[in-house]
Amino acid sequence: MDQTSRLGQEHLLRVVYSHQQIASEVARLAEEINKAYSGRELLVIVVLKGALFFAADLLRGLRIPVRVDFVKLSSYDGMMSSGHVQLTKDLDTEVAGRDVLVVEDIIDTGLTLSFLVDLLHKRGVASLSVCTLIDKKERRQAQFDPDFVGFDCPGGFLVGYGLDFNERLRELPSIYEIVENNTGEVE
Ligand code: IMP
Ligand code: MG
């Protein structure tokens, strides 16, 4: 079954970032983080589920000591953010006094990360920065500027490399935009 037929005839997938582009961007980000945190130990907080693939690749490019933990937040229903963020899986680790790096797949409205960043500050982190693979600014609602950014993306709904559409298509190695199929043709 090809990727298009998994979506149905009304949508197509258009490649936005190939897996080669992703790999070189992830390597660049890892180097930036290595430089910024040289000589320190980092607690890396991965935002499930989307950032799992990105974090797995990014972490293997780091040469500083790291611990890894996971949170799960939810605000999405299909392609729309509900605007209401919930913590559905909390950390196992005490964050007070730690240097923390949050790893996210994509920032859209900014509501999810604003919520998480507030929470981590309240818990007393020593320092906090955010690394996102994709920064999608067109629908930003909460003022939010990530510290490490892979790709600046103009918009659209993206899938693949961890990004899902209703829990599907995360496993695709490249990142695609879901576009309307006006022609009736299948890509
Ligand atoms: P925000 O709260 O609107 O910034 O949304 C952040 C979360 O929404 C991300 O962690 C993703 O899980 C999800 N998200 C936002 N845009 C997309 C997209 O284009 N494709 C898939 N998931 C997305
Ligand atoms: Mg996410």
- DSSP state for residue 9 in the 8-state scheme: T
Looking at the CA of 141, name the nearest ligand. 1
pLDDT digit string, tens, across residues 123-155 = 999 999 999 999 999 888 888 899 999 999 999
Q: Is the CB of 108 within 6 Å of ligand 1?
A: yes
The pLDDT of residue 1 is above 60: no
pLDDT grade, residue 11 (50/70/90)?
A: confident
b/e burial code for range 110-131 (CB count within 10 A of at least 16 → b) = bbbbbbbbebbeeeebeebbbb
Identify whether 57 is a catalytic site residue: no
What is the 8-class DSSP label of residue 36?
H
- pLDDT tens for each residue of 74-112: 876 656 666 789 899 999 999 999 999 999 999 999 999
Report the CATH number of the 19-153 domain: 3.40.50.2020
Mean per-residue pLDDT of the chain: 91
Task: Output the six-digit token pair for 51.
Answer: 């950032």
What was the pLDDT predicted at 8? 65
- What is the CA(105)–ligand 2 centre distance, in A? 5
- With a 6 Å cutoff on the Cβ, whether 76 touches ligand 1 is yes
The active-site residue, picked from 108, 118, 147, 164, is: 108
Question: What is the DSSP code (8-state) at residue 63?
Answer: -
User: Confidence class of residue 70 from pLDDT cuts 50, 70 and 90?
Assistant: very high
Q: Whose CA is nearest to atom 22 of ligand 1?
A: 163
> Which of 7-21, 43-57, 144-158 has the least mean pLDDT?
7-21
